[in-house]
Structure 1
Amino acid sequence: MDNKIFIFDTTLRDGEQVPGCKLNKKEKIELALELESLGVDILEAGFPISSPGDFEAVHEIAKLLKETTVCGLSRAVQKDIEVAAEALRPAERRRIHTGIGTSDYHIRSKFNSTREDILQRAVQCVKWARNYTDDVEFYAEDAGRTDNEYLARVVESVIAAGATTVNIPDTTGYCLPHQYGEKIAYLINNVPNIHKAVLSCHCHNDLGLATANSIAGIIAGARQIECTINGLGERAGNTSLEEVVMIIKQHGHLGFYTEINAMQLNPMSRKVSETMRMPVQPNKAIVGANAFSHSSGIHQDGFLKDTQTYEIIAPEEVGAESSKIVLTARSGRSALAYRFQKLGHQFNRNDIDILYPLFLDVADTKKEVYDEDLQILAESHKMVSI
């Protein structure tokens, strides 16, 4: 089995469903081109039947992207699939993403239906989609809470009908990583024609486990991860693209790889944040403002002796600015000396011993000690030393 992990980006579809993150056509096109440059394999550009604006955006993106497969979402409804196919028609590489809920919660409450009826509808929507493209992805919505034996029947049937990718969404973010991994493994071991399709992980973050579940999924045999920049998405969000990419890169012993240009991750994060008007939390992994900041004295001392004591990723690897030594009341002498040196002051150990209590006085009155504060301390010390 090839160990390439396909990155399916749904920032423009699932990410756009975040309240306040609606994109216009121009913004969608700009981000689509950036995402292709980043190296995503499949770009879910939108849900064409949802609005004329979304249809137009998907249609324009389909014209422009040359390397990335352009994907359009649809329900298991013939009209949805026809409209998605029309929107995607100009694409050099196109995929229709269609499907239906498979958990008993969806079957009974949402559809007021039966398992057998849903199975037939699943097969039918794939057959409709295959009329327009040989790249069809089927999603079994709420697969995370779907009975494994029934899910295996659905997966086998949609692959037989022509699905080339089968999406196993943990739609409500319910699964624990071992449960999600076991679900993927169950399908690989119990669906006779599974070798004819790629299994895909689409995990939500309701319990903060989206990234962990996606990694558990690929370890168990899935080969596609559906994700968004900054983890944007419905409710608590989707799997974060930057997190799974860097986990795969850091844990090379797993044997996986992606085609993502990691050095573009931070610039891409900022672009999405600005365009979608959604700030990135400072402690966000990989792309947060504090991801490479050190403020504890013990951490700062270790970091200054060897960066790998407290950083497993160099900021340059992901296109971030250099690591930051943040001065607070928790900082020690080595960090203070380092920051003075960066400002051009060559103080010896005795100087730092004298300056350190003065620094703490300032630090106890402020959340962070800045360069201008250090300059004042340095100048007053030099005056006293004359």
Structure 2
Amino acid sequence: MKNIEKYSRGYFMPPVKSLKWTEKEYIMEAPTWCSVDLRDGNQALVVPMSLEEKLQYFQLLLEVGFKEIEVGFPAASETEYAFLRTLIEQDLIPDDVTIQVLTQSREHIISKTFEALQGVNKAVVHLYNSTSVAQREQVFKKPKKQIIDIAVTGAKMLKKYAAKTEGDFQYQYSPESFTGTEVEFALDICNQVLNVWQPTADNKVIINLPATVSMSMPHVYASQIEYMSDHLNYRDNVILSLHPHNDRGTGVADAELGMLAGAQRVEGTLFGNGERTGNVDIVTLALNMYSHGVDPKLNFDNIPKIIFRYEKLTKMMVHERHPYGGELVFTAFSGSHQDAIAKGMKWREEKERQYWTVPYLLIDPMDIGREYEGDIIRINSQSGKGGIGYVLQQKYGLDLPAEMRESFGYSVKNVSDRKHKELMPNEIYDIFTNEYVNINTPVEFINYRFTQNDHYETIVSILMNKEEHEFIGVGNGRLDAISNVLQNQLGIHYKDLIYKEHALEIGSGSNAVSYVGITAMNGDVYWGCGIDADIMTSSVKALFSAVNNMIVKLQLPVEKKVIFSNGS
């Protein structure tokens, strides 16, 4: 690509190596989650939410289980101010939930913020000012000392206004654009703010280190976080928080490694909504922990319902491939994937294993409100016999023999390929029934009756060319006797009969289903399926279906050789 020389690495490594986080295998407990959907997420919407929509979204966040929710920037607009006052005056904030508000380090904004907070039970007041080299040089045109003065002055004003405002307040400071700030300077400005607030065990403060713009690989951010964690003043009384954005597509990785490096709190949004490429996605973060057997302390057991409400209120769409939430993330179209999933599901059912280990599925879709039917295996021209067979079994109770699944799989793939579309389960079932089930032309089975001596003897009624005939057959078993009628008296020759039967337990009362495969004299295999309340009748119908498929495909003549009729 052109112009690569114009780009440099604008981030800063810590002055000493900070790599203790690399020794940890996984995140062992959930952080404190803070949703910033109603502030950071809302300001990034093409059309920000109305007051009523924000109230509905706030309720959604409560149902998910957030205990800290940033509700806005009350000094920024009348809607933001009114929303906060509505929450307080209508007593809509549960006792165990803390709201958070954002303010710049400017006195008229801080004053307006505390005015909006009057009478709140508990609130985090989030103070920020930008500290990066680019912002200092290009926007503020101020040296480091004056940037520190902005933060320290703001910290003092928070204490002043909190002291004369009814409510319980916790302080939070963010060196905005932390990732573009020299780490030593970020540490200096945070420590000077901490010296103003002097946190205690009973009155902890939050230091939030945002990847306002994600600038480095995740391991660099983790090293920055670990250095800050190791060197902050009052560390035992500081809650170290992250606010990763997703400019490089690494927001989740930044947060995960940052937690390994010492962060105790994460600010983010549902499905990653936010400015530019968005905030860190809390759904993904939480369910990543869940996949490791760690309780994320958030409730995502009905993802489809959450997505419906999220999309309705934000007018944003959750992408089909979005981790965990996307419509297709548990879906396999590939034949080999489908086969492995189907076998894994069957193995789990038979073995009753404690741990979820189904191939290709990180977690059990049912645990987050997704359905096996229609979610896991979907059929198109890339699908294989295992997936197609799985759909028929799960949806319709049809457990096809392995050889028949392969034959039917080609039929389904050909239809999907010809139509250039995914096939729904009902379409697959229709193809199966039209091609295999109770096929009665050109030779239609009508009825039979048996007698048994040393062998089975049958009189079977058959309709051909609109004429009914009766034939006598003898065999080692009932199906063999009828098969001998077809071969010896109608001249329909085949070999290697394959047979399988089972009860049809889905949607059919007490019906039975049988499958028959026959090998034509040229080596091709033809299949049929019979469904009937009587297991023997279903077997006969399956045989006739297979024979009819062979006759039609090979254009075989059907000749009447010996006819038994009216007892003569």
- Specify if TM > 0.5: yes
Is 1:64 matched up with 2:117?
A: no
Using the alignment, how far apart are the partners of 1:353 and 1:222 within structure 2? Answer: 53
Determine if contact 1:173/1:206 at 8 Å carries over to the other structure.
yes
- Residue equivalent to 2:415: 362
Shift of 1:21: 4.3
1:192 to 233, 246, 263: 233
**Which residue identity lines up with residue 77 of structure 2 in the other structure?**
S
- Residue equivalent to 1:270: 308
- Residue equivalent to 2:180: 145
Using the alignment, how far apart are the partners of 1:13 and 1:320 within structure 2? Answer: 30
Using the alignment, how far apart are the partners of 2:387 and 2:116 within structure 1? Answer: 56
> Structure 1 247/347 Cα, relative in aligned 2: closer, same or farther at 3 Å?
closer
- Residue equivalent to 2:428: 374
2:379 to 327, 336, 349: 327
- Residue equivalent to 1:203: 244
**Which residue identity lines up with residue 237 of structure 2 in the other structure?**
K
Determine if contact 2:122/2:169 at 8 Å carries over to the other structure.
no
Give the structure with higher Rg (CA). 2
1:216 to 238, 257, 260: 257
1:351 to 404, 408, 411: 404
> Structure 1 130/265 Cα, relative in aligned 2: closer, same or farther at 3 Å?
farther
* Paired residue secondary structure (1:140): strand
Is 1:238 matched up with 2:279?
A: yes
**Which residue identity lines up with residue 278 of structure 1 in the other structure?**
M
Gaps of 5+ in 1: none
Using the alignment, how far apart are the partners of 1:327 and 1:189 within structure 2? Answer: 53
Higher helix proportion (structure 1 or 2): 1
> Structure 1 314/140 Cα, relative in aligned 2: closer, same or farther at 3 Å?
same
Using the alignment, how far apart are the partners of 1:93 and 1:68 within structure 2? Answer: 8
Using the alignment, how far apart are the partners of 2:214 and 2:36 within structure 1? Answer: 16
Residues 265-304 of structure 1: matches in 2 within 5 Å?
A: 265-304=303-342
- Residue equivalent to 2:76: 50
- Residue equivalent to 2:17: none
Determine if contact 2:287/2:296 at 8 Å carries over to the other structure.
no
Shift of 1:115: 0.8
Normalised by the length of structure 1, the TM-score is: 0.93
**Which residue identity lines up with residue 195 of structure 1 in the other structure?**
D
Is 1:228 matched up with 2:269?
A: yes
Determine if contact 2:365/2:371 at 8 Å carries over to the other structure.
yes
Using the alignment, how far apart are the partners of 1:351 and 1:340 within structure 2? Answer: 12
1:313 to 316, 340, 363: 363
> Structure 1 268/129 Cα, relative in aligned 2: closer, same or farther at 3 Å?
farther
* Paired residue secondary structure (1:28): helix
- Number of aligned residue pairs: 382
* Paired residue secondary structure (1:135): strand
Using the alignment, how far apart are the partners of 2:409 and 2:362 within structure 1? Answer: 30
Using the alignment, how far apart are the partners of 1:315 and 1:21 within structure 2? Answer: 33
Using the alignment, how far apart are the partners of 1:379 and 1:333 within structure 2? Answer: 16
> Structure 1 215/114 Cα, relative in aligned 2: closer, same or farther at 3 Å?
same
Residues 103-182 of structure 1: matches in 2 within 5 Å?
A: 103-131=132-160, 132=162, 133-162=168-197, 164-182=205-223
Shift of 1:266: 4.3
Using the alignment, how far apart are the partners of 2:45 and 2:62 within structure 1? Answer: 25
Using the alignment, how far apart are the partners of 1:145 and 1:257 within structure 2? Answer: 33
1:81 to 94, 98, 110: 110
Shift of 1:7: 0.3
Determine if contact 1:201/1:224 at 8 Å carries over to the other structure.
yes
Higher strand proportion (structure 1 or 2): 2
Shift of 1:383: 4.8
Q: Which moved more, 1:284-293 or 1:187-196?
A: 187-196
**Which residue identity lines up with residue 64 of structure 1 in the other structure?**
L
Higher relative contact order (CA 8 A, sep 6+): 1
Using the alignment, how far apart are the partners of 1:204 and 1:356 within structure 2? Answer: 45
Gaps of 5+ in 2: 1-27, 163-167, 200-204, 346-357, 440-527, 529-544, 546-568
Using the alignment, how far apart are the partners of 1:89 and 1:292 within structure 2? Answer: 47
- Residue equivalent to 2:388: 336
Using the alignment, how far apart are the partners of 1:119 and 1:265 within structure 2? Answer: 44
Shift of 1:265: 4.4
Determine if contact 1:76/1:122 at 8 Å carries over to the other structure.
yes
Normalised by the length of structure 2, the TM-score is: 0.64
* Paired residue secondary structure (2:75): helix
Q: Which moved more, 1:60-69 or 1:35-44?
A: 60-69
Determine if contact 2:105/2:128 at 8 Å carries over to the other structure.
yes
Percent of residue pairs bearing the same amino acid type: 24
> Structure 1 373/242 Cα, relative in aligned 2: closer, same or farther at 3 Å?
same
**Which residue identity lines up with residue 342 of structure 2 in the other structure?**
L
Q: Which moved more, 1:243-252 or 1:25-34?
A: 243-252
**Which residue identity lines up with residue 337 of structure 1 in the other structure?**
G
